[in-house]
Amino acid sequence: MSHDIVTDAQRIAKATHTRFGEAIQAPAGQPGADELRRRVEHSSHRKWTGQAVDPALLKLLFACALSAPSKSDLQQADIIHVADRTKIKAIADFIPDMAWINNAPVFLVFCGNNRRIRQIGEWRGKPFVNEHLDHFMNAAVDAGIVLASFIHAAEAAGLGTVPISAVRNQPRETSDILELPDAVFPVAGLCVGYPLERGHVTARLPLDVTVHTDRFNETGLKEKIDAYDQRRHALFPLRKQRHANLYPDVEFNGWSEDKARHYSVPERSDFGAFIREKKFSLK
C-alpha cells in the first residue's frame, strides 16, 4: 500500500468517526481513496480569501456538474451564474442573517427547468400530458443532483462552498431578479470561493438510523437520537437556543431540540402557491 493511500485511509477513518460515531475503514488499496476521503471530509464554508475564481475553472465546474445523471435524460436542471453584484446584493437583502452571500466571490442559483421539455413538445407537435406532481419532482431532483455534483467538483479543485436553500424564502422576488420564466424555479443558491479557514466535519446521524436493509426500520430510534444529541454536543455545541421568544431555555440544547423548534414555526408556507404560479399543477 502506498503512503498516500495509507494517509487517505487514516483520514477516512478519522472523518467517519467524527461524522457518524464509527471509524469506517477503506479496503486496502482502494482505488479512488483520495476522492472518498474528500467526500467524508466535506465541510461548508462561509468566509473567503480575496482570490478570484478563474472563469475557465468555473466553466469546467459547470461542465462537471451538468455531467451528472439526469432522469430519463430529460436534463431539467439549469445554473444561473449571478455575476451582477447588484443582483447578488438584492438576493442577499432578503436573507439578512447570511452575510456570506454578498461576500462570496461566486454566487450561483440552481434551478429546476420543466419549461424546456414543454417547449420541445410544442416544437415537435406532441402534447404535454404529464401535468402532475412527479414532473415537478423530476426537475427538482435533477437540480439537486447537479448542485451536489458541482459541490464535489469544486472541492476537488480546492474551492469551498455553502448551499443556500434560503433563496426559496422569497421565491417570487428571487425569480423576478433572475427573470425566471414559467416552469423554471429556484432550488438552492450556492456560495463559491477559496475558503479562508479550514472547515470542520459536522456530525451526522449514525448510519444505523439512516441506512436500512430490505425494510424501513426504526428500532431504538429515540435512544439513538438521544445518543447522537450527546455526541454532537460534545463535538460542537449549539451556540444559541432557537426561537427563544417562543420557548423557555432548556438545560440541554441538542440537535433534536433545535430541529423540533425549527419545524414548529411555519417556513416557506407559500412555496407551493409560488410553484403553482409557475404553471405546475402539483396534482
Number of domains in the chain: 2
> In terms of domains, do 97 and 165 share one?
yes
67 with 17, same domain: the answer is no
Q: Yes or no: say if 86 and 162 are a contact pair by the CB < 8 Å rule.
A: no
Q: Tell me the CATH number at 137.
A: 3.40.109.10
Q: For position 90, what pLDDT does the model report?
A: 96
Give the CA angle between residues 170, 174, 177 to the nearest 5°.
145
Please write the tens of the pLDDT for every residue from 122-181. Answer: 999 999 999 899 999 999 999 999 999 999 999 999 999 999 999 999 999 999 999 999
190 and 71, same structural domain? yes
Q: Is the distance from CB of 76 to CB of 143 less than 8 angstroms? A: yes
Check whether residue 32 and residue 62 sit in a common domain. Answer: no
CA–CA separation, 203 vs 206, rounded Å? 9
Q: Do 9 and 130 share a structural domain?
A: no
- Of 258, 262, 266, which Cα lies nearest the Cα of 240? 258
Q: Are residues 181 and 107 in the same domain?
A: yes
Q: Tell me the average pLDDT across 204-229.
A: 98
Residue 1's pLDDT is: 43
- pLDDT at residue 122 in the model: 96
Of the candidates 249, 76, 60, 278, the residue with the CA atom closest to the CA atom of residue 180: 278
Q: Which tens digits make up the pLDDT trace of 39-79?
A: 999 999 999 998 999 999 999 999 999 999 999 999 999 99
Q: What pLDDT shows up at residue 7?
A: 82
Q: Is residue 239 part of a domain?
A: no
Stretch 86-91: mean pLDDT: 96
Structural domain including 17 reads: 3-40
What pLDDT shows up at residue 4?
55
Kindly state the average pLDDT of the residues 216-230.
98
Residues 83 and 164 in one domain: yes
pLDDT at 212: 98
> Interhelix angle for 255-262 vs 221-235, to 10°?
110
Residue 2 confidence (pLDDT) above 90: no
